[in-house]
Chains A and B, each alone.
Chain A
Amino acid sequence: MRGTSRDRILARVRRALADVPAHERPQDHPVPRDYLRTHGARTPAESADLLAENLADYRAVVHRVAATGLPALLTELLGRRGARRVAVPAGLPAEWLAQAPVEQVPDSAGLTARELDAVDSVVTGCALAIAETGTVVLDAGPDQGRRLITLVPDHHVCVVRTADQIVDSVPQALGRLDPARPLTWISGPSATSDIELDRVEGVHGPRALDVILVHDGRPRDEQAVTGDSAPARGL
């Protein structure tokens, strides 16, 4: 049966395209790619600022910290939330949560969604972040874990290294991502526009998203701050 419909559909497609010259190759139909690779030229510091601004615009809470301050900040954020049980990807650097007085729930193939439903928070790294759209992208790498661990708990803390993980634009992001890996693009916490077309935060995914932009610890530009970033526009 399956073969039959496959053949029938392909035959219909070919009949429908009788007007396309037999010698035409896909590349013969022109695609103008004169759109921009990025929208504006930015220094790395400006890209980080834009990322912070756009993330906050969609109600992620953005924090900036030097690498040495990361464990203390994580401890503080989990404490503020009252998190007791925290899901941890296998490859998360051990020192990140070394100071946090929480029960760590390690990600493993056996950890079920139901078990995760009783977990308060999850802490991960990311594959990259996109400044222009305020997006973090997870690719299930060792410091991010399986997709479900960032989905079922209600609070996600995502750490972005500003030195090498921020790109400006969607085209740049796709160029760096591996399609063979399962990818999750996250732009702010879960939301819906389904009630009178108005964006409301919080349906099924984590309703609280903390993003930490961590820099390498050298004195950075004058805008570097620790703790919450300035509240951004649109709040």
Chain B
Amino acid sequence: MSRTYLGMPAFPEAAAVSTGDATLRANLRRATHTIRAKRAAAVAELDDWDQLRAAGAAVKDRTLRHLDRYLLQLEENVTRAGGTVHWAADADEANRIVTDLVRATGETEVVKVKSMATQETGLNAALEQAGIRPYETDLAELIVQLGDDLPSHILVPAIHRSRGEIRDIFRTRMADWGRPAPSGLTDRPSDLAEAARLHLREKFLRAKVAVSGANFMVAETGTLVVVESEGNGRMCLTLPETLISVVGIEKTVPTWQDLEIYLQLLPRSATAERMNPYTSMWTGTTDDDGPRSFHLVLLDNGRTDALADRTGRQVLRCIRCSACLNVCPVYERAGGHAYGSPYPGPIGAVLTPQLRGLASPLEESLPFASSLCGACYDVCPVAIDIPEILVHLRERVVQGGEVTTRGIRTVVKPAKKHLAERAMMHAAGWTLDHPRALRRAQRLAARTRRLHPRRLPGPGRAWSDTRELPPLPTEPFRDWWARTRGGTA
């Protein structure tokens, strides 16, 4: 069975577990530090990065402000080009639509291209329940699926696994899913890639149905775009007879020309490449080339709730590059699983509570999973002010207020005091661990003073005080925390 995120503990508890895992931390640290430096170099190559970034943010904002109109235009153009458009208000509906479409083909297997949207809806579990076997074909997703694991990074879902662990997973699990790993498999990345190639080739050649996401949808042409590296995307988008793409409504861009912005921003931010190895673009169906039938499932699942929040809606600009994860000191220590959703790191901390609402202690704790250091904002290619949204969501948790949930405006009550305190202690702990982060948090706090809750209990002031450095506690914070945590945990 596919693992799900149901019943995940709140961030502080989950993070406490992973920060204690030395291997995980070492894997994460190595990977994120490598990519950080590379991203900076790739970005520095373009003199007009700031202009591209501003344009990338503005086009998304324009789209979001007129999203109804662009969705209708997209639907019209996909339909005209031979595709069929479906609308899914929530995860269950999306899963039902996909399951029915697969059933209608009579097939019991599908190949999948890495897709955040279908992870969010838990599609694999739904398909399995319906007797349909989903095969993940992205290398990292394959590692996660074979290891009966959960993804921990947007771009590299198996980032928490070292090459040695990957080899062991391939050796022990590949045979259960199809072609076994070659005997004598080493942990050389090229050998591991070769093993995946052999394992999946037969599945690609056999597959009749594929499920994908998309990075962009162009309203004026009805074109979908998938950006990838390995070629598994091309396989899934080209070889099967039926293609089903599940895409969040916010992936829309108005014009063909707009792609010129994002195809420059995304590869450099994501894998630090001038261009990723493969980008596929398709508009409906083409005679004798690629799938004969194409279905687009437009997914809401909380996106319109985020859209209703004037401060929070900028989160819908996100192009899922994962640059914010790679620079985040909290992510680096806590690991991706602590965020309790397919969206870890800074983007997860602001996206999950908005998509799901402040539904449980997990969602309520996520806005506190940050030191507000601002590194995420600096690298975000569409200039999402993540710290601003974090502060805004903290206010919602602590003070309560109006939110939109499943399209209905409601008022949430302030979180129970002990929970808010606990979450804030944790956040403050991070901040005090990082003096530089604290100074930046203070600058940010001054900038967003208006948004701050007025009174916070105890050391919560570490982030809410807007005027001056908080006096350092006479007792070192971590000692105090260790001493008092027992009382509230």
Contact = CB atoms under 8 A, between A and B. Distances in A.
A147 B238 contact: yes
B421 interface: no
Contact of B300 (A9, A39, A58): A9
A15 B163 contact: no
B119 interface: no
Interface in B41-73: 45-48, 51-52, 54-55, 58-59, 61-63, 65-72
Given A147-B289, A192-B139, A8 B278 contact: no
- Chain A interface, >50% SS class: loop
Among B68, B159, B275: residue with most chain A CB under 10 A: B275
Given A9-B298, A196-B163, A117 B201 contact: yes
Given A35-B52, A151-B238, A198-B189, A190 B230 contact: yes
Contacts of A117: 201, 205
Given A170-B263, A193-B156, A24 B65 contact: yes
B415 interface: no
Interface string B283-310: 1001011100000001010001101101
A31 B61 CA distance: 9
A36 B274 contact: no
A101 interface: no
Interface stretch (B29-37, B365-373, B448-456, B463-471): B29-37
Task: Bin the interface of chain A by size.
Answer: 35 or more
A194 B158 contact: yes
Contact of B65 (A2, A9, A26, A188): A26
B91 interface: no
Contacts of A94: none
Contacts of A84: none
A212 interface: no
B27 A195 contact: no
Contacts of A148: 238-239, 289-290
Contacts of A17: 65-68, 307
B388 interface: no
A189 interface: yes
B61 A29 contact: yes
Contacts of A203: 139, 193, 196-197, 229-232
Contact of B71 (A10, A11, A15, A113): A10
A186 B81 CA distance: 24
Contacts of B254: 26
Contacts of A30: 58
Contacts of B54: 32
Residue among A33, A134, A195 with max Cβ neighbours from chain B (10 Å): A195
Given A9-B87, A186-B277, A200 B190 contact: yes
A12 B300 contact: yes
A15 to B, nearest CB: 7
Interface stretch (A61-69, A175-183, A214-222, A223-231): A175-183
A193 B192 CA distance: 12
A205 B263 contact: no
B261 interface: yes
Contacts of A132: 274
Contacts of B276: 187
Given A19-B310, A134-B274, A13 B67 contact: yes
A191 interface: yes
23 contacts: A9-B304, A13-B307, A17-B67, A29-B62, A32-B51, A32-B55, A34-B51, A58-B273, A109-B288, A113-B239, A130-B275, A134-B275, A151-B231, A170-B264, A171-B257, A180-B283, A182-B283, A186-B278, A190-B231, A194-B143, A198-B34, A203-B229, A203-B230
Interface of B: 27, 30-32, 34-35, 45-48, 51-52, 54-55, 58-59, 61-63, 65-72, 81, 86-89, 93, 137-140, 143, 155-156, 158-159, 162-163, 166, 189-190, 192-194, 196-197, 200-201, 204-205, 218, 221, 223, 229-232, 234-235, 238-239, 249, 254, 256-257, 259-261, 263-264, 271, 273-283, 286, 288-290, 298, 300, 304-305, 307-308, 310, 313, 404, 407
Q: Which 4 A-B pairs give the minimum distances between C-beta atoms?
A: A205-B231, A204-B231, A16-B308, A12-B304
